[in-house]
Structure 1
Amino acid sequence: MSREEAITRTFVELADTLVDDFDVIDFLQHLTTRCREIFTLADAAVLLAYPGPDLHSPAPCDPSPALSKVLDLALREGPARDAYRAGATVAPGDLARAPADWNNFTTQARAAGYTHACAVPLRLRRQTLGSLLLLSTTPAPLPADDLLVARGFADAAAIGLLNARTLEYAESLNDQLHTALHSRIVIEQAKGFLASQRRIPLNAAFETMRHHARQHCLRLTTVAHNVITTGQLPQPPNTPPTSQRPGKPTRSTPYE
């Protein structure tokens, strides 16, 4: 797939929110994954401010410990907060010359190996849902054309989220967005348990849960809760439990 095809496909995917099994957490994770792939970034993350007037928490993603610390600081200072507050793109260039009031964010980001940080708002007209933070480790900043595409992705994501809310389940989407602010811990716990149980890297454990959720039309948080409570990936809908299948012994491994 060419880069142009990947960009076009991403816009189509971000518009596809009018479905019965829409999962806002997987949707936002997909946005950050596409940004990393298309723009060759070290990391990308969505920070949500919905409902409420301020950034509250990163949307669930697959962060390293170093990135988690950067995101925690990004809630209070830095390009993601400024982009959300201003409703505009913030691209200061080299972190070595970042604004003085970003001191804590800049120090942590540079310690984690990032050289450049920029952010675009998730915004439709006067309504801003959060911001998309883009982090790189390259000598040069994100090119201006790529930054415009990233802004387009963020705009499309905001439209997709608001369309999903408007169509038929405003209350459900509001609940999902609110839950997304608090579900990162559950997903991180499940990812750690699955990685330990299967002796695989953390990112592989996360992709295993995400693939299982998408393959069986389950929410990512549902999969994570099941891993924590039973030690296993959940059974697909309408599939008999393993204990009901003849000749298949079962074993429950509780999460501790």
Structure 2
Amino acid sequence: MSREEEIARTFVELADTLIQDFDVIDFLHQLTARCREIFALTDAAVLLAYPEPEHMYSPAPCDPSPALARVLDVALREGPALEAYRTAAPVAPGELVHAPADWERFTARAREAGYTYAAAVPMRLRQQSLGALLLLSSNGTPLPAQDLSTAQAFADAATIGLIHARTLQHAGTVNQQLHTALHSRILIEQAKGYLSAQRGISLNDAFTALRGHARHHRVLLTTTAQHVLTTGSLTAAPPAGRPPTDTSSTE
């Protein structure tokens, strides 16, 4: 598949939020995965201040490496993602060695993790900013301007999808998924570790198995993780399907 086809496929995926069994955590995870693949990045992450604008958190990727998790802990308080969120504009300072002085803790943590370049684009809709998409690279090469524009387009599409999913489906369902993002990450990490040990496979392969099972059976990724921890098996009868969404009213 060509790069242009990958970009087009990503826009289609980001538009697919009107399905009844929409999983917002998996949706945002897919955004970060596509950014890594298409832009040849080391890592990408979503930082949101939504639906509560006073609190920033990171719902995706839902399986961050320990090094990325440590960077995200600081990125919630300073650095390019927070700046992109606050200004609703892309932030691309180049190599971290030349990062602004007020990013001291973020820069130190990122360089300690092996990252050499960081940028971020806001997740925005008109004048409303919901968060930011953080882009990290270890190869020291700045993201080309065209790629940064494409990343912004992905972030814009994801923001529209997120807002539409909350508006057109039952708002409480989407909000609950977002509110429980950090708890979801813990469940997924535990289930991933269990499957890795049980099957003798890598953590990445264990996560792929979890996600594939959830998608095949059309259940939430967190529900699948809980099922593994409860039953000790991924191949047992799948958890109950996602509850139907009441589209007759919104909150």
Return the TM-score normalized by structure 2.
Answer: 0.91
Q: SS of the counterpart of 2:92?
A: coil
C-alpha contact (below 8 Å) 2:94/2:119 kept by paired residues: yes
Q: SS of the counterpart of 1:183?
A: helix
1:236 alignment counterpart: 238
- The Cα of 1:105 is off from its aligned counterpart by 0.8
- The Cα of 1:237 is off from its aligned counterpart by 6.1
Q: Deviation string for 1:7-44 (max 9, x for gaps)?
A: 11111110110000110011011101100000000001
Pairing 1:152–2:147 present: no
Q: Deviation string for 1:139-162 (max 9, x for gaps)?
A: 320000000000000000000111
CA spacing shift, 1:55–1:130, aligned 2, 3 Å: farther
Q: How does 1:218-237 map to 2 (within 5 A)?
A: 218-233=219-234, 235-236=237-238
CA spacing shift, 1:182–1:49, aligned 2, 3 Å: farther
CA spacing shift, 1:144–1:27, aligned 2, 3 Å: same
2:123 alignment counterpart: 122
CA spacing shift, 1:136–1:55, aligned 2, 3 Å: farther
1:18 alignment counterpart: 18
Structure 1: segments with no counterpart, 5+ residues: 240-256
1:247 alignment counterpart: none
C-alpha contact (below 8 Å) 2:227/2:239 kept by paired residues: no
C-alpha contact (below 8 Å) 1:60/1:181 kept by paired residues: no
Task: Give the whole-Å Cα distance in 2 for the aligned partners of 1:160 and 1:238.
Answer: 25
Pairing 1:35–2:57 present: no
Task: Give the whole-Å Cα distance in 1 for the aligned partners of 2:55 and 2:148.
Answer: 21
Task: Give the whole-Å Cα distance in 2 for the aligned partners of 1:55 and 1:79.
Answer: 17
1:162 alignment counterpart: 163
What residue identity is the alignment partner of 2:7? Answer: I
2:50 alignment counterpart: 50
Q: Deviation string for 1:110-162 (max 9, x for gaps)?
A: 11111100011111113222211100112320000000000000000000111
1:200 alignment counterpart: 201
Q: Deviation string for 1:44-71 (max 9, x for gaps)?
A: 1111211222453211422111111011
Q: Deviation string for 1:55-92 (max 9, x for gaps)?
A: 53211422111111011111111111111111111111
1:99 alignment counterpart: 100
Task: Give the whole-Å Cα distance in 1 for the aligned partners of 2:38 and 2:168.
Answer: 30
CA spacing shift, 1:135–1:238, aligned 2, 3 Å: closer
1:78 alignment counterpart: 79
2:110 alignment counterpart: 109
Number of equivalent positions: 239
Q: SS of the counterpart of 1:123?
A: strand
C-alpha contact (below 8 Å) 2:223/2:239 kept by paired residues: no
- Identity score, percent: 66
Kindly indicate whether structure 1 or structure 2 has the higher relative contact order, using CA contacts under 8 Å at least 6 residues apart: 2
Instruction: Answer with 1 or 2: which has the greater Rg.
Output: 1
C-alpha contact (below 8 Å) 2:88/2:124 kept by paired residues: yes
The CA RMSD over aligned residues, in Å, is 1.6
C-alpha contact (below 8 Å) 1:47/1:133 kept by paired residues: yes
Which range moves more in the overlay, 229-238 or 111-120? 229-238
1:173 alignment counterpart: 174
1:135 alignment counterpart: 136
Task: Give the whole-Å Cα distance in 1 for the aligned partners of 2:151 and 2:55.
Answer: 20
Q: SS of the counterpart of 2:183?
A: coil
Return the TM-score normalized by structure 1.
Answer: 0.89
Q: SS of the counterpart of 2:180?
A: helix
Q: Deviation string for 1:217-246 (max 9, x for gaps)?
A: 01000011111122112523689xxxxxxx
Structure 2: segments with no counterpart, 5+ residues: 242-251
Task: Give the whole-Å Cα distance in 2 for the aligned partners of 1:92 and 1:156.
Answer: 24
